[in-house]
Structures are given as structure tokens and as C-alpha cells.
């Protein structure tokens, strides 16, 4: 839920500055100058320590007759915790923003100083440290040192930006304005010692002047807050768009040196956003396009059907291709709609199919365009309309009227004003006019239906699965690894079929291993031991072993296990089953995201660089897991996506119910010719019990 005590940050009536001096190049002086030039009409006072300034000043916060709403601190790092503690003790500051650097981003000593800062704040709303400030257009508060504020800007718009990078965040704000996106608020969160992106975003999304929150993220420090922000935005019918850095190895090194935080795993970040209804921008240009599109009130279904109207057949064809590549249908119009279009008698029309090609002489029919778009607006099989027109130098006023007419339709509608200028498009309805095909296509996810509007799945895990984890048959209380002997019981309890398996506990039992197993041209022979987490890497698995050679293969594996120092082991044998594909269903306990599911390519390809994988922190919504299952089924099937969804739900519930599980792998899951999923291997790794060392 949003914090109501964040109002002083964004609508301060009185601001204090700690760190003012007579030097014009200091941060305190630059902030003071920006506040004045930005139109702040409230009182500004210099506090702790007293400075020779041209504004009122006090030697100690206790001297203030009334609290400041916002205390800005631009002091050496070592002095900051003391000032913040004094603000909290005296009650003379309702919120704090710390510009000062030299905290956790600078090393162990700075990290200790940041811990002192958090203790000093003790619940007092605090932004930073190591940030470049904030601006709030509704409050006329330009509390930043950035040169961004010295430039001309459009009137405040419905977009708020929260950024973990101060300088780059303002660069993004500039890019947004070039795309016609006007912002109302901007916050640089710095190290997020107290207030983070999720909590500040949760406050902003509640504001009536904000319809969209844009996030620039380098590290996900609080996944739960981010998830809650997405869910709340969905409840309010608002949008959250995120651009994340640090998804490559090089990017992770950069964020580590820049913010003293390790960037979260891209796979789990994508899954979290998908589940929470947060839209991911793949680039800075996409970020701008998405925030531009989100200013519109238009909403499309997940797989929308669009009608294209263009005066260039080639442009219409390219637009149709790009939309189709992104899951947007450009269907033939209904016979009735085409008949009605033909009856309009447009003199230049080249085609009434979809795309509708108006031809090069389309200006001759300008007075009939309202009728044309009205017919498309009446078609129940059309979810959205996009008109594509070029140049417009001689028709600027008409193009603007056209954009306004499109925005008034009941059906969501947009215009691509290609080869025009930003000045041409100025003043058109927010979020409705784009300059290129690519810009429009990049922005579409902001108006397509997303998740986040249903509760996460929090049903209990199957009792038999929990019991199999906590009361294994073979593994002892000190074993971290539940090998296949026990893990297969967990898999079965989760509802997945398991391959027929024979067991030899000792070498004397190997001669009859194949007896009772289904006939097969080859068998899998493998060591099973709680002392070995990943046996294939030690060469303790044999594939394609003929029935007559199984006993000898089993004896050799017993010997190989002893050679690796394994003291407790058994040998398992399974028939090699006919199958059409292999997938994995796994679980991890990530230090940032907590328990999470992973599903995708299995078998030997589970770690391949080009393997498709889906990661989702749990608990997740059933719809999110169903989408992941459908993607896996389409890529690696044939398999029943409903059965895979059920398995994912059960596995997620188990991870949420058993915090001792740090790793769970059902791999491979064979896709049988009839689509049935059959597990042939499973492994679970648990946290080591206190005081027990296992060596795994």
C-alpha cells in the first residue's frame, strides 16, 4: 500500500537545506538556485550547520518553529547520519533527501555508514543517499542539481519517472519529451537505503495527476514491492513501464561499480514483470514509445485485430508485417464492412481490403474520411484502427484534425505521421500520434491487456509432496541432497508420471535388474546417492545399454562411485522411452527474488545458451504459468499445456511451502508421442541443517 507520509516529498511547503555555503559550485547552492528558478513559492531555510547565506538559517533543527516538509542534505557522508538522527529526534523534518555520496557504493566503510544512516532515519521517509534529487511539477519543487531543469519543458504530463541512475534518468526524461511525453514527477532514488523504487512508485501511482509510472532499474532490491506496484497499477487501470540495465555480463559489472548492487537475473525479472502486469521496455527508444502510448486511454485485448488505413500500399504492407510479427492480427474485413466502404465511392481508393489503401490521391476524399473511420468503428471484428500518412507539410492542420477525429472514436485508434516533424505533431491528442512504424509497434504493449489483475496462487502444496521432502526414505537428516530415490516420490506427489525404475542396493543384486521392466532396445543405468548432486558430471550415468550388458554396467558404476569417494550409493535402471522432446521443470531459491520456477528446454540442452527458458517468482498467478506452459508446448511439444500448468502450480506451491528447498529439478521430463509427460530423473537440494556439514 502507498505511504501517505510521502506527500511532503512531492508537495513541500517548506524546504530545508543542510550543506549550503557561499561557493556557487557546491551542490547546496545549485539546489537553491534550481528551487528558485523552478518557481518554488514556499519558504527555504538553511539548517545544520549555519551558513552565510541570503536565506534564513538556523544552527540546529530544534530552532525551527515549524518542521520543514523536506530536508535536503548535501554534506560530507560522515556528517549525514547525525543530521538525519537529529531530524528524527526533534521532529523538525517530515521527509529527507540525501544527495551525498560515499555510502554503500564506495565499499565496506561506506556500507557501514549507510547502515548507520538507516538506523538514524528509523522510519523517517528518506530518499537516497547518492542521488541527484527530485522534481515535482504539481508542487513546483525542483530539488535537484541536474542541468535538465534549466531547459525549456512542455507542461506537466501524466507520467512519473523513478530512476536508480540519476544522470541517466534525466537523459531518459529528455528523450521522453522529444517523443511527446511530458512528466509530472521525477525521483532519483540512489542507493535506496530507505525508500525504494517500489515504495515510491506505489505512492506516485495513487496520484490523480499520474497515469503511468516509468522505472529505470539497475538492480531489483525489493521484488515484493515491485510486484505490489504492478498489481496496484492494474487495479487502478494505470500502467507501469520498466527499463532494466544489467541483463548482460558486462551490464552487471557496470551496475556493480555504479550502485553497489548486483543486477537481478534477467529471466526472473521478466517473469516477475509478466506476473505483475509491468511492461518491459527492451531499449531506451522502446521505453519512450511505451510511455508515449500509455498516455492514451486506449486498451486492446491481448491478441488484438487491427484495421490499417494508409495512403501508401507499401507502408501498409510493412506495417501489417510488423504487427503480425508481434502477435497482432490484421484480418480481412467482413464482407459487410467492405461493401459499405465500397459504397462510399472514394475516388482514389486502391483497395478496400485490410490494409485499406487510399492511394496517392487520397486528399480528394478528405471530406469522406469521417465516414470511412465511422464504418471501421462500427465493425465488431475490429479491435483497433491505425492510419498511416506521410509528410503532411501542406496538410498540417488537416492531419491534426484527423488525429483528433481518430481519438474520438469508440474503437481505439492511432495515427502514424511519417516523415513529419515534432513541431507538426505538437498538440495532437496524447499517446495517439507516432512518427514511424517501428515507434508505433514498440509502443503497442502499453495499450494491450496485461496480467496483474488477479491474485497470486497461494493454495497449499500437496501434503504428500511436503511429506516426501521432509521425511525422505533414504536420505538422512544431515543430507542436503535428496537424490532420485527420494526425489521421484516428490515428483509423483506433484502429479507427474515417473519412468519404470529398478533398483540395486548392492552389487549382488545387479543380475536381475532388467527383470520386470518393459522391454527396450537400450536402458539407462545410473548411480543414485545423496552424496552426489550432479552425477552425470562425474560420469556416473550410462545410456543405451543393451539388456544383456546391464549387470556389467551396474558393477562398473558401483566401482566408479567408490573411486569418487561415494560411500552410500545404489544403481538404478530405466528403459529408454520413446519421446519427441525433453523439458525441465525446476525451482530455485534466488537471494533476491526468493522461490522461483524455471521451465523450458530439458535434458542435455538445459544449460544451452540458445535454449528457451521461462522463470517466474512464486507465488505466481495461474494465468502467468499457463502462458509459460503454452509457450513451452508451442516450442517443444506436442504436450498438454493444461497438464504442464498443473505441474507448475503444484511445484510453485511446494517451493512456497518448503523454504528449506534451495533447488528442485525434474529433468528431463520426456514428452511421449501421445503428449504425456514422464519424468526420468529428479533431484532436490535442501539447506544444510544447522551444525551439519555434508560436503555437497
Q: Is the peptide bond before 143 cis (omega within 30 degrees of 0)?
A: no
| Secondary structure of residue 384 in the 3-state scheme | strand
Q: What is the CATH number of the domain that holds 239?
A: 3.40.50.261
Least confident of 234-248, 464-478, 623-637, 649-663: 234-248
Q: Is the peptide bond before 109 cis (omega within 30 degrees of 0)?
A: no
Is there a contact between 9 and 125 (Cβ–Cβ < 8 Å)? yes
pLDDT beyond 70 at 669:
yes
Give the chain's domain count: 3
How much is the pLDDT for 8? Answer: 95
- Whether residues 247 and 349 share a domain: the answer is no
Confidence of residue 577 (pLDDT cuts 50, 70, 90): very high
Torsion angle, CA of 55/47/23/109, rounded to 10 degrees?
Answer: -160
Mean pLDDT value across the chain: 89
What separation in angstroms does the CA of 201 have from each of 93, 454, 631?
22, 20, 31
- Whether residues 227 and 334 share a domain: the answer is no
Is there a contact between 624 and 274 (Cβ–Cβ < 8 Å)? yes
Instruction: Give the closest residue to 184 by CA, choosing from 168, 199, 205.
Output: 205
How much is the pLDDT for 151? Answer: 76
Which residues fall within 8 angstroms of residue 599, CB to CB, at 6 or more apart?
A: 583, 584, 585, 586, 613, 614, 628, 629, 632, 644, 648
The answer to the question of residue 533 being in a domain is no
The answer to the question of residue 665 being in a domain is no
The answer to the question of residue 518 being in a domain is no
Answer with the one of 120, 147, 174 that is the final residue of a domain.
147
Q: What is the mean pLDDT of residues 211-233?
A: 93
Q: What is the mean pLDDT of residues 613-641?
A: 93
pLDDT beyond 50 at 257:
no
Confidence of residue 55 (pLDDT cuts 50, 70, 90): confident
How much is the pLDDT for 20? Answer: 87
3-state secondary structure 80-124: HHHHHHHHHHHCCECCEEECCCCCHHHCHHHHHHHHHHHHHHCCC
The answer to the question of residue 387 being in a domain is yes
How much is the pLDDT for 52? Answer: 59
Q: Cell numbers at residue 213, please?
A: 509510472
CA of residue 679 relative to chain centroid, distance: 31
Taking only the tens place, the pLDDT of each residue in 34-43 is 999 888 999 9
Q: What is the mean pLDDT of residues 398-422?
A: 92
pLDDT beyond 50 at 393:
yes
For the whole prediction, is pTM greater than 0.75?
Answer: yes
Answer with the one of 387, 416, 447 that is the final residue of a domain.
447
How much is the pLDDT for 167? Answer: 77
Taking only the tens place, the pLDDT of each residue in 441-459 is 999 999 998 776 788 999 9
Question: 244-263 in b/e burial notation, b at 16+ Cβ within 10 A?
Answer: bbbbeeeebeebbebbbbbb
How much is the pLDDT for 422? Answer: 81
- Whether residues 170 and 273 share a domain: the answer is yes
The residue range of the domain holding 223 is 151-295
Q: What is the mean pLDDT of residues 91-105?
A: 96
How much is the pLDDT for 661? Answer: 95
Confidence of residue 394 (pLDDT cuts 50, 70, 90): confident
How much is the pLDDT for 489? Answer: 95
Answer with the one of 412, 447, 482 that is the final residue of a domain.
447
CA distance 198 to 213: 11
The answer to the question of residue 491 being in a domain is no
- Whether residues 111 and 23 share a domain: the answer is yes
The answer to the question of residue 69 being in a domain is yes
pLDDT beyond 90 at 664:
yes
Q: What is the CATH number of the domain that holds 112?
A: 3.40.50.720
Q: What's the burial of 208, exposed, middle or buried (CB within 10 Å: 0-12/13-18/19+)?
A: exposed
Q: What is the mean pLDDT of residues 541-546?
A: 95
CA of residue 493 relative to chain centroid, distance: 32
Instruction: Give the closest residue to 486 by CA, choosing from 380, 572, 394.
Output: 572
- Whether residues 318 and 439 share a domain: the answer is yes
Q: What is the mean pLDDT of residues 400-429?
A: 91
How much is the pLDDT for 50? Answer: 57
CA of residue 165 relative to chain centroid, distance: 17
| Secondary structure of residue 602 in the 3-state scheme | coil
How much is the pLDDT for 449? Answer: 84
Taking only the tens place, the pLDDT of each residue in 487-512 is 999 999 999 999 999 999 999 999 99
The answer to the question of residue 161 being in a domain is yes
End-to-end CA distance of the chain: 42
Q: How many CB atoms sit inside 10 A of residue 626's CB?
A: 17
- Whether residues 291 and 161 share a domain: the answer is yes
How much is the pLDDT for 265? Answer: 75
- Whether residues 159 and 265 share a domain: the answer is yes
How much is the pLDDT for 247? Answer: 57
pLDDT beyond 70 at 106:
yes
How much is the pLDDT for 690? Answer: 42
> In the chain, what percentage of residues exceed pLDDT 90?
71
| Secondary structure of residue 126 in the 3-state scheme | strand
Beta-strand pair 581-590/594-601: antiparallel
CA distance 92 to 79: 18
pLDDT beyond 80 at 260:
no
Confidence of residue 176 (pLDDT cuts 50, 70, 90): confident
Taking only the tens place, the pLDDT of each residue in 14-39 is 999 999 887 778 888 999 999 998 88
Q: Is the peptide bond before 668 cis (omega within 30 degrees of 0)?
A: yes
- Whether residues 332 and 423 share a domain: the answer is yes
Q: Cell numbers at residue 527, please?
A: 548411480
- Whether residues 322 and 373 share a domain: the answer is yes
What separation in angstroms does the CA of 581 have from each of 494, 571, 601, 633?
21, 25, 9, 10
pLDDT beyond 60 at 696:
no
How much is the pLDDT for 145? Answer: 86
- Whether residues 211 and 79 share a domain: the answer is no
The answer to the question of residue 312 being in a domain is yes
Least confident of 241-255, 278-292, 332-346, 638-652: 241-255
Answer positive or negative: Cα dihedral of 34, 40, 41, 46. Answer: negative
Q: What is the mean pLDDT of residues 164-172?
A: 83
Tell me phi and psi for residue 55, to 5 degrees: -125, 160
Taking only the tens place, the pLDDT of each residue in 337-382 is 999 999 998 888 888 889 999 987 888 888 888 999 999 999 999 9
- Whether residues 128 and 1 share a domain: the answer is yes
CA distance 666 to 599: 10
- Whether residues 170 and 268 share a domain: the answer is yes
Instruction: Give the closest residue to 134 by CA, choosing from 225, 71, 91.
Output: 71
How much is the pLDDT for 51? Answer: 60
Taking only the tens place, the pLDDT of each residue in 286-340 is 999 999 999 998 999 989 999 999 998 899 999 999 999 999 999 999 999 999 9
Amino acid at each position: 500500500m502507498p505511504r501517505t507520509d510521502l506527500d511532503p516529498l512531492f508537495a513541500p511547503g517548506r524546504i530545508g537545506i543542510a550543506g549550503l555555503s557561499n561557493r556557487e559550485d557546491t551542490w547546496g547552492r545549485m539546489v537553491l538556485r534550481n528551487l528558485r528558478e523552478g518557481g518554488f513559492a514556499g519558504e527555504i531555510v538553511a539548517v545544520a550547520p549555519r551558513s552565510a547565506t541570503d536565506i534564513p538559517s538556523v544552527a540546529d533543527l530544534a530552532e525551527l518553529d515549524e518542521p520543514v516538509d523536506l530536508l535536503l542534505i548535501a554534506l560530507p557522508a560522515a556528517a549525514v547520519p547525525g543530521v538525519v538522527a537529529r531530524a528524527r529526534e526533534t521532529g523538525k523534518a517530515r521527509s529527507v533527501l540525501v544527495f551525498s555520496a560515499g555510502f554503500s557504493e564506495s565499499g565496506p566503510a561506506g556500507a557501514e555508514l549507510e547502515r548507520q544512516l538507516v538506523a538514524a532515519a528509523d522510519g523517517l521517509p528518506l530518499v537516497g543517499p547518492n542521488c541527484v534529487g527530485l522534481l515535482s511539477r504539481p508542487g513546483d519543487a525542483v530539488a535537484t542539481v541536474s542541468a535538465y531543469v534549466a531547459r525549456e519543458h512542455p507542461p506537466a504530463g501524466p507520467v512519473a519517472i523513478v530512476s536508480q541512475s540519476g544522470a541517466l534518468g534525466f537523459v531518459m526524461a529528455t528523450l521522453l519529451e522529444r517523443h511527446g511525453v511530458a512528466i509530472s514527477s521525477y525521483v532519483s532514488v540512489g542507493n535506496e537505503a530507505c525508500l525504494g523504487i517500489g515504495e515510491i512508485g506505489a505512492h506516485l501511482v495513487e496520484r490523480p495527476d499520474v497515469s503511468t509510472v516509468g522505472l529505470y532499474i539497475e538492480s531489483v532490491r525489493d521484488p515484493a514491492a515491485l510486484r505490489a506496484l504492478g498489481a496496484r497499477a492494474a487495479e487502478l487501470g494505470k500502467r507501469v513501464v520498466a527499463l532494466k540495465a544489467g541483463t548482460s555480463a558486462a551490464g552487471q559489472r557496470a551496475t556493480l561499480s555504479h550502485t553497489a548492487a548486483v543486477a537481478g537475473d534477467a529471466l526472473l525479472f521478466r517473469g516477475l514483470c509478466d506476473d505483475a502486469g509491468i511492461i518491459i521496455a527492451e531499449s531506451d527508444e522502446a521505453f519512450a514509445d511505451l510511455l508515449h502510448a500509455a498516455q492514451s486511454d486506449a486498451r486492446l485485448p491481448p491478441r488484438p485485430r487491427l484495421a490499417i488505413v494508409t495512403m501508401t500500399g507499401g507502408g501498409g504492407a510493412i506495417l501489417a508485417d510488423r504487427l503480425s510479427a508481434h502477435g497482432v492480427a490484421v484480418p480481412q474485413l467482413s464482407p459487410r464492412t467492405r461493401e459499405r466502404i465500397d459504397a462510399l465511392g472514394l475516388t482514389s481508393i486502391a483497395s478496400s481490403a485490410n490494409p485499406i489503401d487510399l492511394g496517392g490521391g487520397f486528399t480528394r476524399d478528405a471530406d469522406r474520411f469521417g465516414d470511412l473511420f465511422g464504418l471501421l468503428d462500427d465493425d465488431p471484428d475490429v479491435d483497433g484502427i491505425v492510419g498511416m500518412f506521410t509528410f503532411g507539410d501542406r496538410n498540417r492542420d488537416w492531419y491534426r484534425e484527423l488525429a483528433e477525429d481518430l481519438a474520438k472514436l469508440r474503437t481505439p485508434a492511432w495515427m502514424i505521421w511519417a516523415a513529419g516533424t515534432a513541431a507538426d505533431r505538437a498538440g495532437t491528442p496524447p499517446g495517439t500520434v507516432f512518427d514511424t512504424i517501428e515507434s508505433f509497434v514498440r509502443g503497442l504493449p502499453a495499450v494491450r491487456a496485461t496480467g496483474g489483475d488477479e491474485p497470486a496462487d497461494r493454495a497449499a502444496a500437496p501434503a504428500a509432496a511436503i511429506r516426501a521432502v521432509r521425511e525422505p526414505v533414504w536420505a538422512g537428516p544431515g543430507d542436503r541432497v535428496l537424490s532420485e530415490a527420494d526425489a521421484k516420490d516428490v515428483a509423483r506427489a506433484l502429479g507427474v508420471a515417473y519412468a519404470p525404475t529398478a533398483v540395486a542396493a548392492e552389487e549382488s543384486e545387479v543380475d536381475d535388474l532388467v527383470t520386470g521392466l518393459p522391454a527396450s532396445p537400450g536402458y539407462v543405468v545410473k548411480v543414485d546417492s545423496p552424496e552426489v548432486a550432479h552425477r552425470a558430471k562425474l560420469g556416473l550415468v550410462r545410456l543405451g545399454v543393451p539388456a544383456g550388458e546391464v549387470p556389467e554396467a551396474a558393477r562398473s558404476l558401483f566401482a566408479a562411485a567408490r573411486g569418487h569417494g561415494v560411500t552410500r550409493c545404489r544403481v538404478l535402471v530405466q528403459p529408454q522411452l520413446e519421446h519427441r522432446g525433453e523439458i525441465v521443470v525446476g525451482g530455485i531459491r534466488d537471494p533476491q527474488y526468493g522461490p522461483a520456477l524455471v521451465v523450458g528446454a530439458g535434458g542435455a540442452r538445459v544449460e544451452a545458451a540458445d535454449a528457451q527458458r521461462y522463470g517466474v517468482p512464486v507465488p505466481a498467478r495461474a494465468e502467468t504459468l499457463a502462458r509459460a506452459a503454452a509457450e513451452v508446448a508451442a516450442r517443444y511439444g506436442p504436450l498438454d499445456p493444461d497438464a504442464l500448468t498443473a505441474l507448475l502450480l503444484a511445484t510453485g506451491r511446494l517451493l512456497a511451502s518448503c523454504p528449506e528447498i534451495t533447488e528442485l529439478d525434474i529433468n528431463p521430463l520426456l514428452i511421449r508421442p501421445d503428449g504425456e509427460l514422464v519424468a526420468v530423473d529428479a533431484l532436490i537440494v535442501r539447506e544444510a541443517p544447522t551444525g551439519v556439514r555434508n560436503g555437497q
